[in-house]
Amino acid sequence: MSGVQHREVTADDDGMRLDRWFARHFPQLGFARLQKLIRNGEVKVDKAKVQTSTRISEGQTVRIPPIDDPETVRPFKVNEEDVRYLKDLILYEDDDLYVFNKPHGLAVQGGSGTTRHLDGLLKNLPNKAGEAPRLVHRLDRDTSGCLVVAKTAAAAKHFGSVFRSRSARKIYWAIVAGNPTPRQGEISCFLAKQVTEDGEQMVVVRNGAKGAVHSSTYYSTTDTASRRFAWVTLKPVTGRTHQLRVHMAQLGTPIIDDPRYFNIENWQAAPGLGEGLHLHARRIALPLRNGKKIDISAPLPPHMRQSFDALGFDPDRYDAQNADPEDGA
């Protein structure tokens, strides 16, 4: 690639870190080389100097220097083992998108100390134009289940709009400590981000507080195991960071094995439970570009299946496609 390029940031790249933007659009450019180009002032955003961590916004223009010299080019070689791994996770696929069953413990994007993540693995499934598939929404690292990934820029724009307009119907399953009171209802509050030694934490704040955003979730108790545990179905209306985890803790019934928001002192778990956050993106329904709709369900991850068995919950009690418990509420 010769000559200087100028590219406008699109809506589906809005808010992305600059280094991740380059990894998506110029996977042949090594990170060390990118750092050097940035230090030398050869990469700019709206004519201003930047850092690898700079976040870019829709409509901004990125200056890309010539990157065709042998020192720069790092041909990307598809890892067949990663291809097989990803293909085993596919719940649904068409010309526009994948729906993956994201495993518990796999990060969606990279971060401090995170080298293996879904966004990086997706480079192994390039489309016909050689572009990596694009994330259109997120799940926490320890949340399993349905994750939508677009195959092209046009598909990413469509599905990004679907999620922003809340046209996607998302259903989560969780096991919580205690029994929610009342058994079903809506949790509505304002949340703000708080930085701690362990990373970002969301806290409930008053309306008007700095950084406050509104959050809303509908919940329904599907089954209980005495008064100590409940299987809860959750329908988020908004999509805030850690929203479901904070909401269940706010209700007084935190999600089992939540490392950040489980707040019951002297808690003793029941024998036989699986280990790990008990939150699963069970089902997603959304409109396709051709006007049709898909409705996809993901089986429980092993640690939650173990806990369902230990507590006597039957995940097959409800047909996930037609009769989730909240549908009759």
Please list the alpha-helical segments (H only) found in 40-151: 80-88, 118-121
Cα(92)–Cα(286) distance, integer angstroms: 12
Q: Which residues contact 319 (CB under 8 A, 6 or more apart)?
A: none
What one-character DSSP code corresponds to residue 325? G
Cα(228)–Cα(267) distance, integer angstroms: 10
Q: Which residues contact 197 (CB under 8 A, 6 or more apart)?
A: none
Cα(61)–Cα(2) distance, integer angstroms: 18
| Terminal CA-CA length for the chain | 58
Rg (CA), the chain: 21
Q: In which region does residue 36 sit, left (phi positive, over 0), alpha (psi from -120 to 50) or beta (all else)?
A: alpha
- Neighbouring-strand partners of residue 11: none
Q: How much helix, strand and coil, in percent to the nearest 5, is found in the chain?
A: 20, 30, 45
Cα(90)–Cα(85) distance, integer angstroms: 9
CB atoms under 10 Å from CB of 196, counted, come to 9
What one-character DSSP code corresponds to residue 111? B
Amino acid code (one letter) for 263:
N
Catalytic: 140? yes
Annotated catalytic residue, options 119, 140, 257, 258: 140
Query: Could you give the 3-state DSSP secondary structure of residue 304?
Result: helix
Q: Residue 62 is encoded by which pair of tokens?
A: 């990125």
Give how far Cα 51 sits from Cα of 27, 35, 58, 215, Å.
Answer: 18, 8, 18, 32
Active site members: 140
